[in-house]
Amino acid sequence: MRVAVIGSGISGIATAYFLRQKNIDVDLYESEGRIGGRIGSEQLLARRVDFGGKNIGRQYTLFREFVRACGNPELEYFGLNTSQIVNGRVVKINREGSKLFNLLRIFSLCGFEGVWRLDPQVRTILNDRSQGVIGSDYFIKISERYDHMTLANYLTRRCVNNLVRPITIRMNGAEPDECFPGNFGSNLALVLDSYDQLKHGMHGLLDSFRVMTAPGSLRVFESHRVTSVSAGSGSEQVMLGYVHRGVTGSAAYDRVVSAIPALRLAVLFDEQQPSVSALLRQIRYYPVAVAIVRYRRQVFKSDCRAMMFDNSVALSNAGAYGINDLDLVRYTFSGRVSRSTVSEFSAPEAVVGLGEEITAPFFNIRGNPREAFVYRYLPEGLCAYSSRHHLLLKNIDQELRKIPGFAATGDYRRGASIEACFRAAGECVEKLTGG
């Protein structure tokens, strides 16, 4: 059997990995000139830096197995160390500090009613980590009961402003009034974890993935934009159409897996399968802009490595790139104000300047020369899901069954975290291969 995987972001890489473990040969198609998608890297002066997917949770079981299979590169502790503005003052949340202090801090942010509402969800995830994903049994029940309202209505204003928004704006690019209770478990699971980072970056892991030893073979087709998926001449063959450097081509496969965002998959089915395309377009994505900037001198202090901002500004958060990279800032722009301020037409220099203007009152930015930066604007950067999302996925799967030999995975399945993408990919491969 030979299988084509469309997209080489973390979902595509996970799919190819699980297929190869089953001794299945994989052709990996990537529209860009390099693999990695939203976790890809750029050269910044003398080093490569990663735009996303840097933090590896202690509960990332599947992904850590993948890391070991890729040569087990060295990890370093990153933890959870951030701050935010609450009623005009800086409030720190530091996982490295006292547990009691952190609990009291969270209680003060949420209030009694917020803690009362979220406590059963937190306990469920801590008792069974598999529940902290989109479409888990527990959160389907939450969805069926409460998804007629958004998180902004489900929780108190104090809890929404102080705790929920900093989470949804960073993980989904969405405001609390654009998110739903039944999907919040995938976010809570990330907050309840502690994190490491790959010492030599995600790009080193991707390099190892390309040459890793596995039962199944791997061929990577970069700069190949897939344009169509259709039934082949064989009883179970799937035809893939693509464009490579302006030249069209096609190939036949036993199976094809999509690992691209739902909206990009919808484009492939607009003409031949409009019903599934319409369903896929109900899944919402929000843009995100990311800049990684090197300064001449240290910007952060070791006990305060990040800041999350409120809904009055376009910058959602600014943080140190790594625990020892206190002169390297990662600016992230997402949320409602960001959408009206930053676009694909914005000049990167101007966007970085805006981030510096917002951050300067809190960190060592003024008078600290900027040496270099890299920048990306991702129009489909972060997935925010839908009300009763599990029902939408069920309808999508029913339509996809009409395309023999085709399956789909991605961040819209189980959640946007690396581990959730690996879980969704593993489930997809099991279904595709019959276990």
Structure tokens that stand for 154 in this block: 């489900």
Please give the backbone phi and psi of residue 344, each rounded to the nearest 5 degrees, phi first. Answer: -65, -15
Number of structural domains the chain divides into: 3
Q: What is the dihedral of CA 319, 68, 187, 166, to 10 degrees?
A: 0
Residues 405, 372 share a domain = no
Cβ(242)–Cβ(250) below 8 Å: yes
Could you tell me if residue 233 is inside a domain?
yes
Residues 319, 262 share a domain = no
Residues 368, 392 share a domain = no
Question: What is the Cα–Cα distance from 105 to 88, expressed in whole angstroms?
Answer: 16
**Residue ranges for the chain with pLDDT beneath 50:** none
CATH of the domain at 297: 3.90.660.10
Residues 409, 372 share a domain = no
Q: Which of 133, 163, 191 is the last residue of a domain?
A: 191
Q: What is the pLDDT of residue 59?
A: 94
Residues 272, 242 share a domain = yes
CATH of the domain at 414: 3.50.50.60
Residues 299, 247 share a domain = no
Residues 394, 304 share a domain = no
Q: What is the pLDDT of residue 182?
A: 97
Question: What is the Cα–Cα distance from 150 to 397, expressed in whole angstroms?
Answer: 25
Could you tell me if residue 47 is inside a domain?
no
Instruction: Name the residue with tokens 């999907």.
Output: 183
Q: How many CB atoms lie within 10 A of CB 2?
A: 16
Could you tell me if residue 34 is inside a domain?
yes
Tell me: the pLDDT tens digits for 248-270?
999 999 999 999 999 999 999 99
H or E segment and range at residue 329: strand 328-333
Residues 293, 257 share a domain = no
Residues 372, 294 share a domain = yes
Q: What is the pLDDT of residue 236?
A: 75
Could you tell me if residue 347 is inside a domain?
yes
49 to each of 103, 350, 388, 433, how far by Cα in Å?
34, 21, 37, 36
Residues 349, 421 share a domain = no
Could you tell me if residue 81 is inside a domain?
no
* Amino acid at site 267: V
Which residue range forms the structural domain that includes residue 20? 2-39+59-74+200-283+386-433
Q: Which of 343, 366, 383 is the last residue of a domain?
A: 383
Could you tell me if residue 356 is inside a domain?
yes
Structure tokens that stand for 394 in this block: 């069920």
pTM (two decimals): 0.94
Q: Cβ neighbours of residue 231 under 8 Å, at least 6 residues apart?
A: 237, 238, 239, 403, 404, 405
Could you tell me if residue 22 is inside a domain?
yes
Quick one: three-class SS letters along 191-260?
A: HCCCEEEECCCHHHHHHHHHHCCCCCCEEEECCEEEEEEEECCCCCCEEEEEEECCEEEEEEECEEEECC
Could you tell me if residue 86 is inside a domain?
no
Residues 408, 264 share a domain = yes
Residues 314, 231 share a domain = no
Q: Which of 191, 216, 238 is the last residue of a domain?
A: 191
Tell me: the pLDDT tens digits for 21-60?
999 999 999 999 999 988 888 999 999 999 987 889 999 9
